Structure 1
Amino acid sequence: MPKINGNEIRPGNVLEHDGGLWAAVKVDHVKPGKGGAFAQVELKNLRDGRKLNERFRSADKVERVRLEQKDMQFLYESDGLLHIMDTETYEQVTIPADILGERRPFLQDGMTIVVEFHEAEALNATLPQKVICKIVDTEPVVKGQTAANSFKPAILDNGVRVMVPPFVGTDEDIVVNTETMEYSERA
């Protein structure tokens, strides 16, 4: 694995530090009035989600890890495990369902997700940015209600509650952004 200097760390880099794998979330380069410059790095553990603030001087060497990204197809879920299949080799793998966090309800049968592996261990999974969902319940349109920046609550077919514009009604398909978990457009 390549070693990089402490001042070369960028957000999104995966580092091997203190015997674990950490993702750099935020990096601030600080030049104090006295002493040498350093990078103040906020790290997040990829295995258990712990956060850590660490200072790296430019002379410090850290191991940068490259994660292998694979397109995988979601098959089914059982006992808190997601059963997924490699789209190239058709090999089936199981990963913990909580790897998706709060985006788990947006996972649909047959959906292709991107899973990041480090030496055959799944560390992260990302859903497509936009997913189509059906509204099962929302308030009816109130006549005379202005469309400018007014939203109403709606419950989707996966149980997630989002805010939608007043013109969207029950049983309509909408596109939801899985990163922000917000209404994007009509489908």
Structure 2
Amino acid sequence: MAGGGFSLPRPRPRGPPFFGRNQVAAALHQVGVLLELADANVFRIRSYQNGSRTLGTLTDDLWELVETGRLVDIKGIGKGLASAIEQAMREGAWPTDWVDLHTNTPPGMLEMLDIPGLGPKRIRMMHEALGVASIADLREACEAGQVAELKGFGAKSQTKLLDGIDLLARFRS
């Protein structure tokens, strides 16, 4: 899911269930990306990524699993995730820590996810090392040659990022 599409899915007007399987899978994916941007514990990040993938391929009815208390029986869904999913589906509100992650992540960092070849780890690295918090900041850092000096980057990477920024600008126009 691209940065421009980052917002937790809205609940259905009537429920429960207030969210469907695809909505929950999308929310888990987003939280996993946001946790990567926040440099959270790698095991926590993986649990959200695994949960998202698991729900994306789930053939069982998610609401039935919640209703019968069998969600934790699904491989890739631990007790913590199961509890958060159940709460969201029953109450129609995402867990507060998920909402806080969305709220506290600079929007510009989410927009940078739309640049081809740029993921959460590299965005976090540039944010920490260069203070890059938006596409405009990234362009400026690339044009000044600062990105090429970072470990894991180089002149070629920097040029590809500038090309990606230009491509994104044309695509959005």
Q: TM-score, normalised by structure 2?
A: 0.31
Larger Rg: 1
Q: TM-score, normalised by structure 1?
A: 0.29
Structure having greater relative contact order (Cα 8 Å, sep ≥ 6) = 2
